[in-house]
Amino acid sequence: MQSGHPLAGACHRSRISNHDGGLAMKVVSFSHPVNVFVGLGFPCEISSVMEACQVLDEWSGSRTSSYAATAAACHAALAGRSDVESARAAFEAFALARGILAPDTPEPSAADSQIGSAFP
């Protein structure tokens, strides 16, 4: 069941595979993921241009000129005609403007992994 949110279900995407189980398209990863809120406010980590394109393709909000520019930047990077980090920056700016940019999740520290070890 999908909610009326523009990105409902966006984090539950499946990747297109070829016959031997590999990805049919080259995954162009971001240097640092972009976290966005989807569905009922769940954070979703977008780590590649392909994932950003899928989020944009599934966007059901208004498709303004900023949407079009972001989609064009991501599709150009996916096709190798543009810089991946420029696409990431455009996607992050789009997410911020639309109110779906989630804060970065901190990396777990060594101290965090020790918290439960003092208790049986």
Taking only the tens place, the pLDDT of each residue in 57-104 is 988 889 999 999 999 999 999 999 999 999 999 999 999 999 999 998
Cα gap 93→70, rounded to integer Å? 9
Q: Are 102 and 35 in contact (CB under 8 A)?
A: yes
d(C-alpha 14, C-alpha 31), whole Å: 22
Nearest 5°: the CA angle 18, 80, 53 is 65
Tokens of 8: 């409902």
The continuous run of DSSP H or E covering 82 comes out as none
Q: Report residue 25's pLDDT band, with 50, 70 and 90 as the boundaries.
A: low
pTM confidence score: 0.71
Predicted local distance difference test score (pLDDT) of residue 14: 38
The domain ranges of the chain are 10-101
